[in-house]
Structure 1
Amino acid sequence: MKEMVKDQVTGAVIKEINNRRILNEINELTLQDKALINALNEMKGVRTFISTPENILGSEKTKHGEIAEQVEVGITRAKDILNRENPSATFEGVGRTAPEDYLKNGIKVQSKFVNGANNNLKSVLDHMDNYKTFGRDGSYYEIPKDTHEIIEKVFNGENVEGLKGSTRRAILEKIKKIEEESGKSYSEVVRPANSNYSDVQQGNVEKTIKTYEKDLKKENKIKKSNIKEEYKPGLHEGMKATAISALIGAGTSLTINLYKNREKLLRGELTGDHWKEIGVATVKDGASAGVTGGAIYGLTNYAKMNAPFAAAIVSATKGLASLVKDYAENNITESELLELGIIICSETAIVAVAASIGQGIIPIPILGAVVGTIAGSMVNELLNFNKKTGTAIEKQMREAMEKLDKDYQFMVLRIKKQYEALGNLLIAAFNVENNLQLLEESAKVAYALGVEENKIINKIEDLDKFILGS
């Protein structure tokens, strides 16, 4: 029992490590979902702006210019927010007719959405003529993404289908002039916006916003998937759990041994042999606790057991391993192996029953029969020596059952059946990790416990209606 208590302490430590990781994951996923909501609110703001075209500057043919500004700032902010970064684009502090249209990272930006690559560059040069510092002091221009791509191809000598030679020459001349006027490279002065020219036209902008919203949601799914991957149990954390368990085991062993020898310690009578003995025990117990911690970490994260149950399994396995060794060396008989195995697994069964089913289901008068039945099953499964061993265990279990009243026999069999059917469902229902899939897990438990199907809520919309009373 002493060893089992130590294993349960180790299990509690592993549970805390797991819970911290899981809670951090839940927190990160929640923050990411909030980021998506805030990002979509930015696009909602753009939609609100375009819903009153009469307030947009320009004629019907030029209103797309101010629309382009709103879309650019909106999607830039939305992307930053989705990445959980401070929004880099803003209209704050910018006059509606100022030389710049908005700021990005505190830098002035003028948006030029003019039809045609050559015309777009002409518009940039006209603005540079009117504002002698713009494009030279770090400020820059943003033009439609597709227009920028065409200009880049011309600049790099690539072929652009449908583009006349005279237009190509005009584009190259304007690029050269922009560089001469600014004293900077073209790519520093003129940069691509997020949208194409056609995207911001009044007839297309609603579709553009929907596309951006769809892209934001898709990106959010990727980010959440990456978060889940990042917070998966792994080798690094497993080694950390093993190391912590080893330190706790070693520390506990050292404390216990020093306490046992406290009188000699206070009198200064501890010899080198005593310290050596204490040191060996400390290292041995630390190593044992480390192995136990690693095993419990694996069982809780990969076999999906809860920590008390995993610790109980590890305790039983270690105890049975020692018995098997004694049996192999002919130090104990097969009968003693079974009897001692039942004792060890009875302790494990108590923990397993308490963790999996709960005390409310166990009628106290037949507690021993329940524990014995499950313990016998565990011995049979863990030892798994041979058919003869299994038959002997089953015979003992059957004889014990026959000694019970029929009512108690029925109750034991029912509880055992429930235990086997439920498995880890009840554990799962109260497991922090399953807050991520709580509805699904609670529905599984309800099905297993025989709740009528029409009373089980297994859809999120039904849960919303139930909670809201609608």
Structure 2
Amino acid sequence: MPREEARKLLTLGGDGPSLKDWARVQAFFEEISVGIESLEPSHLEYSEVQKGAYDATLMTEEDSLRSTDQSLRGDAYRESRPTLREGAKATLAAAAIEGGTALALAVAEKRRAGTQLRDFTGEDWANIAGEGGFGVAKGGVRGFSIYWLTNFTATSAAVASSIVTAAFGVAEQANKLRRGEIDELEFIENAELVCLETAVSALPSCVGQALIPVPVLGNTVGIIMYKTVSSSLSQREASLIAQYVGEQRALDEQLAAEYRELIETLDASMSDYLGLLERAFSPDLEVALLGSVELALELGVASEEILDSAETVLAYFLD
């Protein structure tokens, strides 16, 4: 309270605080950084914070805080736990978004080929509608999978989407294998490429999800980013990449042949070396002596330093 008000109230006498007490309190708060407005009245009684009693008070407060924390956690979990209705919403939203995205990409692809919108034929629109319908189906599966993986497992939305995308791609290659369109080797190679492409597309999906923290929308942004980059390669760049892949395959075949030759040489050398060791440690002393000499020569020991006769042995130890 202001000094004038304190002087009026505290000069009445009695057992209450005096003006000197008021001055002492004012001086205390002027010397420290904590203002009096920072203080709040305690809900504890004076007797509960005295020596000998505050331990029990602290334990009671800890129990109360722990109980409140558990209650809040329980309420938060009940409000956020997955439900069938939310799963259906995620599935429908993903189907609509990915279907619309597939439709837009199909139209854009036709436009990049040089066809104007007014020149689209019924077959073109049928193909576009097919792409959109397939996108709706894929989006529904993707949305349900993302919702299930992100809520029931420790999987991020981008990774979950990549898993589903890879599953779609491998399933498509498996279908081609069943129809006889590709052989087993092509199936393995194509499946590897699908998984590699999925791993690459996971990065922009993560970026898209970081920009838009909604799993389905973030993944869609990532897919559009990846498709835009991958489809922007010119014919010259694509041919350079194809040439590079061919050179890498030729180099791989060359290195594989050299590797086989080295393995054969190593096998032959190891066989000779094991033969030398067997002779060097033979129970027959004469064979062991000759084997030791051969082993020493094989390992590069100078011939004049090898003890290969009784004379050289005596000279080494007695001279």
Report the TM-score range of the alignment, normalised by the length of the smaller protein.
Answer: 0.3 to 0.5
Q: Report the structure number with the largest CA radius of gyration.
A: 2
User: Which TM-score applies when normalising by structure 2?
Assistant: 0.41
Higher RCO, Cα 8 Å, sep 6+: 1
